[in-house]
Amino acid sequence: MASGFPGRDLRGGFGFGAGSAVQMQYQQRSDGGAAIGAAGLLKRSLTEMERQQQMQHAIYLRSVKQKTHFALPSPVSHISAADLSAASTTTTSSILSSLSSASASIPFVGQGIPNSTTWSFQATFADAEIDSEKKSSMTTRLLELERQLLDDEEEELSISGSAVTSNEWSETMEKLMSPPPPPPPIAAVVNLHPPSPSPTTSSTSSSGSSSSCTPSSATPSRQMLLDTATAITEGNQETATANLAVLKRTANPRGDPEQRLTAMMVAALVSRINPPAPGSSHPVADVCSAEHQAASHLLYEASPCFKLGLMAANLAILEATKDNPKIHILDFDIGQGSQLASLIHAFSERHRQRSPALPPPCIKITSVCPLQGNDTNNLRIVGDRLAKLAESRGVGLRFNIVNSRTQELNQTTLLCEPGEALAVNFAFFLSRVADESVSTANPRDELLRRVKSLSPRVVTLVEQEMNGNTAPFATRFTEACAHFGALLESLDATATRESTERARVEACLARKAANSIAREGADRVERCELYGKWRARMGMAGLNPVPLGSIVSEPVKLRLSSLRNNPGFTIKEEAAWVGCGWMGRVLTVASAWR
């Protein structure tokens, strides 16, 4: 180097090995003095010896940059020159001592160096302090980057009293860049994804004691299911096949909830390993059949978690339309009409209690169906049934069916009229609409933007609380095990195991699980989301959450308390949503938007 500083030589350590630049510099001095041996050191004065020792100390400080690991009491740490000097002197003395003992045959010799190559300790300390401050600033920036990458909003990193080392940062980056680890045991993930909390405080109600709300630990069969999913992810077909053979012996679709879950998940994993042959059947036929749709709505009636979610949506519609004589309800998945039948009863009861002398409200229900054929015929049957119910309850009802694509939806095609209070109901529907991960057209967001353009009084959203859309396979499988496992346990508390209706409901759940786990791309119809993701998506469409308040949550809690001998059902509420679950895990979430 031009300045004569020793550089790092991979062949000779850090510039202090045999043939280093430092040794050659002292042996070939520019003042013409000859190098002296070790005996010459005895003839020098004490001042010269101290000066040489200082020069050696300065050379080490300039050539080897000390890496000091220190606590960070604040985002930017201030280190004084005196502190750095003390640390540097101690470290330098010990390292120089070890180096001199290891290199006794190569003494540092020299009687002086020109003035042009003399360094002051003040400059050395200043340089070291600048380097330390730069490293401190860099460490702070790295911590901030780490916090952004890992999204540590709920668990803030404690800086005070902790040492941040380059090794820890390397490990963090390695984790970020490496494939995701195998899914943890199910006991650790049962409550990993509650709905995203809002700034307000939440409360939880249960029909049993709090001690009964603790999820049970993972069973051996469930742990083997997770191990099998990991093996499939890693391409270890032999291990996956061997595990499935063992699991099939413990599975029983008519046994206890854990055995039923094992049977359900084994079928889903087998379907992923051995997908149907091309042309044999359409991959989405099983979750789009008439039987599946009928069984889905049977599930909504059989499970308190689904039923209470629909009840919360109806209460939100009632509250948003309470001052309007003309009410228009837009629904995209009426099914057998059970939710709307309950809503008609509620409209009638409210009119009877508040203003029986006034004319009853005029209700219009529009069912949006993009397809022609049997679906339209079934909707007409449901519409006739609802009209008869409304007539018996003294409520006027008009029922319309609109066959239009999403791009064609507007106030004209949907038969909207001035003066109506429009309510849009999305009950377990949006999760089956493809998003940007499936199609660049993004039908899900397009539908929400169309709905926003209608200026509705309220938009109700009821969905299963599960991270099953864009998550990778291993995460989806872990979520499915926890979600469907809790659902099966809750059904065990409300229906007999030999019930024909329960068999249809669980067959429906098995089809949903298989589609969510085994299929990818456009073939995966079941794409459940967590409430936090729905909140972001609704916000991008221009819809804001509507506080539900006690007028929604209290009747739901009252209905929950009427359940007997079912200690596992729980209600979790926030300002903008109400969640219904089993043993502390939220299974469905109802919310309102505008």
| Dist CA 266 CA 260 (whole Å) | 10
pLDDT of amino acid 285: 84
pLDDT of amino acid 162: 37
Sign of CA pseudo-dihedral 193, 195, 199, 204: negative
| Dist CA 489 CA 261 (whole Å) | 9
CB atoms within 10 A of CB 66: 15
Q: What is the dihedral of CA 216, 222, 226, 231, to 10 degrees?
A: 160
Could you give the 3-state DSSP secondary structure of residue 195?
Answer: coil
pLDDT of amino acid 136: 59
Length of the chain: 594
Is residue 468 within 8 A of residue 480, CB to CB? The reply is yes
| Dist CA 466 CA 363 (whole Å) | 34
Is residue 361 within 8 A of residue 353, CB to CB? The reply is no
Is residue 56 within 8 A of residue 96, CB to CB? The reply is yes
| Residue 196: DSSP 8-state | P
Q: Which residues contact 124 (CB under 8 A, 6 or more apart)?
A: 58, 61, 62
Beta 326-331 vs 569-573: how paired, if at all?
Answer: unpaired
Q: Which residues contact 307 (CB under 8 A, 6 or more apart)?
A: 300, 301
pLDDT of amino acid 284: 81
Q: pTM of the full predicted structure?
A: 0.66
Written as one string, the DSSP assignment of 473-502 is HHHHHHHHHHHHHHHHHHHHHHS-TT-HHH
> What is the identity of the amino acid at 118?
T
pLDDT of amino acid 428: 97
| Residue 181: DSSP 8-state | P
pLDDT of amino acid 385: 97
Could you give the 3-state DSSP secondary structure of residue 586?
Answer: strand
Residue 309 tokens, joined: 């979610």
CB atoms within 10 A of CB 236: 15
Written as one string, the DSSP assignment of 319-388 is HHTTT-SEEEEEES--TTSHHHHHHHHHHHHHHHHH-TTSPPPEEEEEEE-S--SHHHHHHHHHHHHHHH
Give pLDDT tens digits along the chain (594 positions).
Answer: 444 444 444 334 434 344 444 344 444 444 444 444 434 444 455 656 666 666 655 555 444 444 444 444 433 334 444 443 444 444 444 443 444 444 444 433 333 334 433 333 344 444 545 555 555 565 565 555 445 444 433 333 333 333 333 444 344 334 434 444 444 443 333 333 445 444 444 556 655 433 333 344 457 899 999 999 999 999 999 999 999 999 999 999 999 999 999 999 999 999 999 987 776 667 788 898 989 999 999 999 999 999 999 999 999 999 999 989 999 999 999 999 999 999 999 999 999 998 888 888 999 999 998 765 557 888 999 999 999 999 999 999 999 999 989 999 999 999 999 999 999 999 999 999 999 999 999 999 999 999 999 999 999 999 999 999 999 999 999 999 999 999 999 999 888 999 999 999 999 999 999 999 999 999 999 999 999 999 999 999 999 999 999 999 999 999 998 886 667 999 999 989 999 999 999 999 999 999
Separation of CA 363 from chain center:
40
CA distances from 541 to 352, 433, 450, 451, 537 (A): 37, 15, 9, 9, 7
pLDDT of amino acid 275: 85
pLDDT of amino acid 45: 58
**Per-residue H/E/C for 510-562:** HHHHHHHHHCCHHHCCCCCCCHHHHHHHHHHCCCCECCCCHHHHHHHHHHHHC
| Dist CA 347 CA 449 (whole Å) | 29
pLDDT of amino acid 46: 60
Is residue 524 within 8 A of residue 286, CB to CB? The reply is no
